[in-house]
Chains A and B, each alone.
Chain A
Amino acid sequence: MDCVNDASHKMRLSRKYKFLLAPIVTILFSVVVHAQESPYIVTYDHYLEEPGNLEVEYFSTFGTQRGGNDFHAFWSEFEYGATAWWTTEFYLDGQSTFGESTIFTGFRWENRIRLLQHEHFINPVLYVEYEQTSGADKILKEVEGHDVESDYATPNSTARQEHDHEMEFKLLLSRNFHGWNFAENTLATKNLTGGNPWEFGYAIGASRPLALKASAHHCNFCPENFIAGVEMYGGLGDRNSFGLHDTSHYLAPVLAWNLPNDWTIRLSPGFGLNDNSHQFLLRWGLSREFSGFGEAISRLFGGRQ
């Protein structure tokens, strides 16, 4: 009996070590690849993660708040290319409201599925997300329905008592034309808790690298490493009151710097376009892409070499 227990204990330990080893093995066996990342923070274009690659990202949003304390919201993203037509992504959200507290505000699981095999005049991608967040979530990754600035003035101690389970669907449309990318996202969200109606929103963006030709040498400050653009996003009301009244909207220049040493830095100052919007949102992000994540994990668990 002891032998059986001992074997079982060893097996449990072995499994435990495998899970603990996973991140280390991933870093050791993954190859860092140079990314050509879009500068958008809210808008999505139609490009997915390369299959088997993992992109680890951190984003920060500083927001001004009338009628409450300013805040710093942040999130981590783990984006994995399951196939060339399917990218899956996991988010962890949090925020600090100045003079109040720092709290974890929830998680999101997002999937993007490319609908057409080849490039077309317009390229559609279907986006499906499940999110479980508290009422204190302030990352403003999307603006929907009648989201307005005053919603975010509630103190953390009260707002975190509210728990939301949401399904979010987006149709991402995007095209590249003469070096420019144009993207339009339409979103519909349903809060699964309570009898809330479907809520709607949008995001649009345009961006272009500062140079279209690559230089022959490796360089940090080559113009082709910088992609600049602008995005605009906001709410479109809900099923019972569709439209622009009581909605918030933002305009934000965006800049991405794709460094040859495999990091991407993004910066975006955003400006509220009406009285319902936060006056200013300063966002920045840092990301790094690892190739061969899937293979490294597969090898660790005895998969095909």
Chain B
Amino acid sequence: MNAKTSSIIAWMSIAILLSADGALAKRHKPSPDSESVYAELANAPAKDAARRNPMETDREAIPAGDKLFHMHCAECHGEMAEGGKKAPSLLADEVQQSTPGTLFWLLTNGVVRRGMPVWSKLPESQRWQLVSYVKSLSGPPKPMPDQAHTKD
């Protein structure tokens, strides 16, 4: 293979990447207010949604989750989780009112057809740390309904 052929092949590859990006990004890139991504939260099986966060009493969970968020998530969801061109806000009620188990389930399974990859490559503990951080964005933790009932 001579240098000219190699060069042609290299530029053909770039052209393929460009066409893939142009065609597929338009089809699959979610809009910032993508309701369909939030709707995916409702698909979490009840058993998964009911899971408790084993890291909720771990004092390092939120700062560790903060670090993980900025490593893996902020590029799409924004530095403050406010949402970006590629992914919706995590400050929205749909997310903040979801159970930790639901968020963990979504993180594990992704929303592949909407562009969110599966994050099961992060160990389970790290995914729970991320959930701790995301839930912390809505302010201090509120008492669970059953705890509130006990106080009454």
Measured CB to CB, the residues of A under 8 A from B are: 19, 22, 31, 33-34, 36, 38, 45, 47-48, 50-52, 78, 80-86, 88, 90, 92, 104, 106-107, 109, 114, 117-119, 132, 134, 176, 178-179, 181, 209, 212-218, 224, 260, 291-292, 294-295, 297-298, 301, 303-304
Contact = CB atoms under 8 A, between A and B. Distances in A.
A83 B111 CA distance: 11
Interface of B: 1, 6, 9-11, 13-14, 16-18, 20-22, 24-26, 28, 60, 63-68, 71-72, 75, 85-86, 108-118, 120-126, 129
A47 B121 contact: yes
A88 B17 contact: yes
B120 A176 contact: yes
B134 to A, nearest CB: 14
Nearest to A298: B21
A213 B26 contact: no
Nearest to A32: B75
A298 B13 CA distance: 15
A287 to B, nearest CB: 15
Nearest to A78: B13
A34 B118 contact: no
B126 A82 contact: no
17 contacts: A47-B121, A48-B117, A51-B25, A52-B21, A80-B20, A82-B21, A84-B118, A109-B13, A119-B118, A119-B120, A212-B126, A214-B65, A215-B64, A217-B63, A295-B85, A297-B21, A298-B21
Contact of A212 (B1, B6, B120, B125): B125
A19 B8 CA distance: 13
- Most-contacted residue by chain B among A50, A78, A181, A260 (CB, 10 A): A50
A33 B129 CA distance: 19
Contacts of A107: 6, 9
Contact of A84 (B9, B16, B20, B110): B110
Contacts of A47: 117-118, 121
Nearest to B114: A84
Given A106-B1, A213-B126, A213-B129, A85 B25 contact: no
B57 to A, nearest CB: 14
A212 B71 CA distance: 16
A86 B112 CA distance: 10
A84 B75 contact: no
Contacts of B13: 78, 90, 109
Nearest to B128: A213
Given A119-B109, A214-B64, A298-B21, A33 B75 contact: yes
A188 B28 CA distance: 31
A33 B72 contact: yes
A107 to B, nearest CB: 6
Contact of B117 (A84, A216, A295, A298): A84
B54 to A, nearest CB: 11
Nearest to B59: A216
Contacts of A297: 17-18, 21
A33 B125 CA distance: 21
Contacts of B26: 304
A179 B123 contact: yes
B19 to A, nearest CB: 10
Nearest to A294: B21
Contact of A50 (B117, B123, B125): B117
A88 B91 CA distance: 33
